[in-house]
């Protein structure tokens, strides 16, 4: 065997091992986090965590029922803002946009995606909290909603672009208008990608504490209305994790696990609904 071919074989093995190691590292970090969370969170998780309100320092027990519901309400509000804007913005970029304006919108969207979440919080604080003169669910939902928009826009755009032109032309050839074609042929064909994108955006904002700190604030009790402060899992995790009490640390782990589970359930559920819809259409 010549030196050259031996060198080639060695390089091949080295590079193969290197890429394999890096892949393994990525996966193991993820599983390490998941395992750690499941271990510590699982230990502290009990039925009371889902049904009881937090208790004052010193007392043991209690739960985060208000924060779980609070996160749900905040995400609902966020979707009401993020999904329509994200969806229709994505449709515009993919189907109707001209060259210059689309470039501008796409660029702005990417910038918006890069805005630190704490800045989004300040924005919502200035626009909603200051005029209302107090923290509110509304303000928190809006901050999260605005953060969803760029992700939803870009994933919707990408999914719509992946639908082949011949499908659109098929509808045009039957006398369908542009909008009709988009709504009845292109969007259904891209539904799987669109739902995945929305879920991705939702998962991204579900774990945000920073924009909620001075918008939704927090609440030790049930929130008394949409215009009142509300507890949320990420903020609870933040508050409990930096506290000095072991019991609170355990609760923070449990909250982390619940948050992760909620995102996972929403994700799998969303995909399941879409694939069932497709399966139904396939008969």
- 60 versus 99: smaller Cβ distance to other proteins: 99
Q: Does 4 bind other proteins (CB under 8 A)?
A: no
Q: Does 274 bind other proteins (CB under 8 A)?
A: no
Q: Does 100 bind other proteins (CB under 8 A)?
A: no
The C-alpha atoms of residue 255 and residue 185 are separated, in whole angstroms, by 42
Contact 148, 87 (CB under 8 A): no
Q: Does 176 bind other proteins (CB under 8 A)?
A: yes
Cβ 188 to other proteins, closest distance in Å?
Answer: 7
Dig out the tokens for 27 from the structure.
């996966």
Q: 96, 76, 113, 243: which is closest to 157 by C-alpha?
A: 96
Q: Does 110 bind other proteins (CB under 8 A)?
A: no
Chain positions 143 to 172 lying near other proteins, rule: CB under 8 A, are 164-172
Q: Does 69 bind other proteins (CB under 8 A)?
A: no
Q: Does 177 bind other proteins (CB under 8 A)?
A: yes
The C-alpha atoms of residue 270 and residue 152 are separated, in whole angstroms, by 15
Contact 255, 236 (CB under 8 A): yes
Residue written as token pair 């501008």: 104
- Please give the size of the binding site for other proteins, defined by CB under 8 A: 23
List the x/- string, 179-208, binding to other proteins by CB under 8 A: -x---xx--xx-------------------
Q: Does 132 bind other proteins (CB under 8 A)?
A: no
Cβ 158 to other proteins, closest distance in Å?
Answer: 18
Dig out the tokens for 122 from the structure.
């300040």
- Can you list the alpha helix ranges (DSSP code H) found in the chain? 3-44, 47-51, 65-91, 99-114, 117-124, 130-132, 137-161, 165-172, 178-181, 187-189, 191-206, 210-213, 233-241, 246-282
Tally Cβ neighbours within 10 Å of residue 118.
Answer: 15
List the x/- string, 5-44, binding to other proteins by CB under 8 A: ----------------------------------------
Catalog residues that contact other proteins under the rule CB under 8 A: 164-177, 180, 184-185, 188-189, 278, 281-283
């Amino acid at each position: 065997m010549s030196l050259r071919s031996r060198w080639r074989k060695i390089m091949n093995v080295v590079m193969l091992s290197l890429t394999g190691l890096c892949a393994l590292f990525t996966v193991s970090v993820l599983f390490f986090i998941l395992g750690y969370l499941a271990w510590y969170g699982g230990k502290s998780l009990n039925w009371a965590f889902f049904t009881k309100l937090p208790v004052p320092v010193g007392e043991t027990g209690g739960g985060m029922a208000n924060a779980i519901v609070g996160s749900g309400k905040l995400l609902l509000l966020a979707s009401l803002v993020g999904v329509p804007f994200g969806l229709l913005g994505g449709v515009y970029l993919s189907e109707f946009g001209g060259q210059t304006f689309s470039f501008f919108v796409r660029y702005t969207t990417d910038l918006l995606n890069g805005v630190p979440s704490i800045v989004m919080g300040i924005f919502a604080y200035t626009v909603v909290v200051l005029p209302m003169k107090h923290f509110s669910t509304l303000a928190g939902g809006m901050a999260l909603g605005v953060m969803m928009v760029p992700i939803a826009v870009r994933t919707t755009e990408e999914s719509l672009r992946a639908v082949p032109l011949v499908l659109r032309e098929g509808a045009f050839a039957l006398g369908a208008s542009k909008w009709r074609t988009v709504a009845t042929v292109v969007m259904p064909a891209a539904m799987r990608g669109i739902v995945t994108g929305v879920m991705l955006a939702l998962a991204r904002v579900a774990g945000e504490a920073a924009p909620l700190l001075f918008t939704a604030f927090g609440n030790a009790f049930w929130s008394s209305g949409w215009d009142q402060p509300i507890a949320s899992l990420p903020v609870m995790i933040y508050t409990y994790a930096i506290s000095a009490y072991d019991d609170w640390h355990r609760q923070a782990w449990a909250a982390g696990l619940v948050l992760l589970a909620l995102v996972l359930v929403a994700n799998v559920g969303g995909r399941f609904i879409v694939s069932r819809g497709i399966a139904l259409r396939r008969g």
